[in-house]
Chain A
Amino acid sequence: MKRWTVFKAVFVKNLIELRRYLFNLVTGLVTMYILFLLLFFGARAIGGAAVKVGDTLEGLVVGYLVWLFAIIAYQELAWSISTEAEIGTLEQLYLTPAGFGWVNGSFLVARFVTNLAVITLMLLAVLLTTGYRLNLDLASLLPLTVITILAPCGFGFLMGGLALVFKRIQNSFQILQFVFVVFLMVPVSEYVWARYLPLSLGNHLLRKVMVEGYRLWELPAGDLATAVGVGLAYLLLGVAAFGYCVNVARDRGLMGHY
């Protein structure tokens, strides 16, 4: 109950900040709208009549969303920790009976939900503007997306932990961004070991759903279990690394530094 109250508090704060930083929200929405438009028109220009436009477009949209959520998951926690340290509120977030990890996990979930809502609205706006119709099996895609971004969330905790110790780590985001693209591109069906990389198997399963028309329950159970296991393993490793970094920061008295 106490943890649920903490989650709600973090969620509401997230909404309030979105509203207060309205200009940032609006520019983010406009950027996303333009990106979606480019995605749609780009797909049409490249695919032309020879390609099944629906598959390409749906694949592109979901691929883009997975990549976007992956980036959000691993960047936002670190950004948030750096910002909280700068404005002087980070130490206060540690002073909660629910635990510092819970507060940061709640933050990640809150950001995921609000971003999902915002992105969905944008997507609908673009569909209305362009007249396109997407055939998305949300019942299969939503859980698979969540499973796929478990690993980036683990990286989010790792980066958040590093931000606690080193404060400014934004330059490493760019490297990770490319690494994630590689993870997304590795063909899982050709290399067995690639199933254990972050994002790779999840992305493979997402493509099966979108391109080959599989439903979630029609996917190989072993693949699904592996995807969940791999995602959870990276998440737990990230949380463990975060816990280790918190202790390093506490040992060195760095929690309030920026």
Chain B
Amino acid sequence: MQEPSTETERGKAGRRAFTMALHPSPPVLEIRGLTKTFPRRGKRPPVTAVDRVDLTLEAGEIVGLLGPNGAGKTTTIKCVLGLIRPTAGDIRVCGWDVRTHHHKAIEHASAVLEGARNVYWRMTPRENARFFAGLHGLDHRAHRSHIEELLERFGLTDRGDEPVINLSTGMKQKVAVVCALVKQTDLVFLDEPTLGLDIETSLELRGLLRELARKTRRTIVVSSHDMDVIQDVCERVVILKEGRVVADDRVDSLLALFRTRAYRMVLSDGLVGEVVERLARAVSGLSVTARGERTELEFELPAAERLYEVIDIIREGGAVIETITQKEPDLEEAFLRVINDTGSEGGAGA
């Protein structure tokens, strides 16, 4: 892996910096009130897949888009790319209205939508990369060094002239990502980029994405069910539920929110039922596990100072606290918490 060194890329970065110095650039992506409703056959009511979504992404951000199945992630991405026509709302990519200036907007956006299915398996990685560059109006001869550099970065140089069909799942996935990156767009969508990959390849791809965002100041949106990928790669996370944004925060802020609340205690004795009942009233999500002589408690507090109240209840119950640890929440827990905390009407949960 090396610094983007092609003249094209350096020139592009330079031009971008120069433009930004002259006039502040518009956000890379600006979504206002995006709504998409799909009609259904017969007299059944229409389905609202995306409901008044607002979102702004700046240059160089790497953002995770999370949500349960049917939350509206893919519909939102496809609306941005113009593949689905929104029912209402405005979408601008680098200042270009997707509805009225799709050709201009799409110059700044690329995507991997269905993983390895996005490329031609009968063609080689090099042929695919050249074709998708050409499809974006970039002559592959003028961008040869950039194409070769990407193939090199993604470890595809040696297999660059072999039909994609002969490559492993991980390599196919990498070819798809290369074909999105070869377009040199400001905004890149990666829908489930690590789906079906083994852990080693997934880790490698995550590293490549992090480095890419850092070095090229591209805005990358990663939609994935794999929380580890989002936690590992993204700085910011947007959580969708039933078509609405229910959380939009930095990953570390979201984790910190739950870190202050989640605790694990080990007691040297058992607890009588009455004490457990008092504890259940004082905390939320209480779980009590007997481990031989010891008892393990896990719970969350609405506020940190309530910990004293918990300690008092245990002391009055005659048990001795051996250890208290603040439980380290991962993004999966935070995600589930946000999803469960928000009712079916949505609303900010974090």
Contacts and interface: CB of A to CB of B under 8 A. Distances in A.
Interface of A: 1-3, 5-6, 8-10, 12-13, 16-17, 20-21, 87-89, 91-99, 103, 247, 250-253, 255-256
Interface residues of B, number: 41
A98 B118 contact: no
Contacts of B110: 95
Interface of B: 36, 38-39, 49, 75, 78, 81-85, 103-104, 106-107, 109-111, 113-114, 117-123, 127, 130-140, 163, 179
A252 B38 contact: yes
Given A13-B123, A87-B121, A256-B113, A94 B137 contact: no
Contacts of B39: 252
Given A5-B139, A256-B114, A95 B85 contact: no
B117 A88 contact: yes
A9 B83 contact: no
B113 A5 contact: no
A247 B86 CA distance: 11
B122 A21 contact: yes
Nearest to B84: A253
Contact of B106 (A88, A97, A253): A97
A92 B109 CA distance: 11
Contacts of A94: 81-83
Contact of A95 (B38, B109, B131, B138): B109
Contacts, number: 109
Given A95-B109, A95-B110, A13 B103 contact: no
B71 to A, nearest CB: 15
Contacts of B117: 87-89
B204 to A, nearest CB: 23
A115 B109 CA distance: 34
A91 to B, nearest CB: 5
Most B CB contacts (10 A, CB to CB) among A6, A88, A94 go to A88
A87 B123 CA distance: 13
B103 A99 contact: yes
Contacts of A2: 137
B134 A12 contact: yes
Given A91-B113, A256-B113, A250 B106 contact: no
Given A253-B78, A256-B114, A97 B107 contact: yes
Contacts of A91: 78, 81, 83, 113, 118
B328 to A, nearest CB: 39
Given A16-B123, A89-B118, A89-B119, A9 B103 contact: no
Nearest to A247: B85
Contacts of B111: 92, 95
Contacts of A10: 134-135
Given A13-B131, A20-B123, A92-B118, A97 B82 contact: no
A16 B38 CA distance: 39
A256 B123 contact: no
B336 to A, nearest CB: 28
Contacts of B118: 88-89, 91-92
23 contacts: A3-B137, A5-B134, A5-B137, A5-B139, A9-B134, A9-B140, A13-B120, A13-B131, A17-B123, A21-B122, A88-B113, A89-B119, A92-B111, A92-B118, A94-B82, A95-B106, A95-B136, A96-B106, A97-B104, A250-B85, A252-B39, A255-B78, A255-B83
A133 to B, nearest CB: 40
A253 B75 contact: yes
Nearest to B124: A16
Contact of A12 (B122, B131, B136): B131
A90 to B, nearest CB: 10
A5 B83 CA distance: 23
A88 B113 CA distance: 9
A94 B109 CA distance: 12
Nearest to A19: B122
A256 to B, nearest CB: 7
Given A97-B106, A99-B103, A6 B113 contact: no
B324 to A, nearest CB: 51
